Amino acid sequence: MKTSATIGLNKVQLSDEVEKAIKAGLPVVALESTIISHGMPYPQNFEMALAVENKVREHGAVPATIAIIEGVLRAGLTRDEIESFAKKGPQIAKVSRRDIPVIVAQKKDGATTVASTMIIAELAGISIFATGGIGGVHRGAETTMDISADLEELAQTSVAVICAGAKSILDIGLTLEYLETKGVPVLGYQTSELPAFYTRQSGFKVDAQIDSAEQMAEILHAKWGLGLKGGVVIANPVPHPYSLDFKEMETVIQNALHEMNQKGIKGKDSTPFLLGKVKELTAGKSLETNIQLVLNNAKVAAEISAAYVASRKK
């Protein structure tokens, strides 16, 4: 049996597990579904999604994979629903903020991006969200104006996003400038340098290095307790054994960008193309790195969620 949490005109259907956890004040971690349908091929995407949920549970929190199914906002999916998203892959619409009303009204399935996952998580009362990497300002945005909706969502939606920094394919310097303008804290979890998804390096500093889940939880309580709306980026580097070489990755990305421009690929199709091309050019190494960084983010998110709940009860 599933329960619906209704807020205004928005309706979020919670799984039994997620509903019980929220009512009991237990730690819950939101997970996105675009990474399942658009992030990697089947069956790796299905195996990864289950492994991420298990990692959250192993570290003391309840996973809430978020999606839209037949027009209903959902927090908490069954194994069969996750496998369906994994098998259908890109056939399922990739849904950001602007797409939600269309998908809901037409009663379609939608895989949620960082932005739309944040929206549904906040509606469901979930404050902590683990993903791979956030979107940002694309390279060449001074002429294309290609800027991810993730950044605008971070400016207005009060959810902490644990990620391996911004995706390497982006202009990381401009992404940080944009987040600063929007008042979004960018905090490094046990690092002073913003990771760049596949690699622990980017050459850019975070706003502050925070060394424990407990300290991170206190910062979240301070921000939202003061009425400062908006999200927080918690940058968690990929584990050392899986970090790819920074210079090698930059060469790979430049080659991928050149091919993308030659083919005239733009807008929401650019990120899937670039990630696929990076996987091809790294002979699959980037896929393993992608999986490991998501698992690591799930672990840290569960620890931060547990600390956040514990500090709230004090």
* Residues acting as catalytic residues: 32, 167
Residue 206's closest CA among 179, 239, 244?
Answer: 179
Cβ–Cβ < 8 Å for 184, 155: yes
Q: Is the peptide bond prior to 43 cis by the omega test (within 30 degrees of 0)? A: yes
107, 118, 159: which is closest to 34 by C-alpha?
Answer: 118
Which residue shows structure tokens 């290609």? 146
* CB 169, CB 278: distance < 8 Å: yes
Phi then psi for residue 257, to 5 deg, are: -60, -40
- Spatial distance between the Cα atoms of 293 and 238, rounded to a whole number of angstroms: 5
Secondary element (H or E) of residue 111 = strand 110-112
What are the structure tokens assigned to 114, written together?
Answer: 């960082």
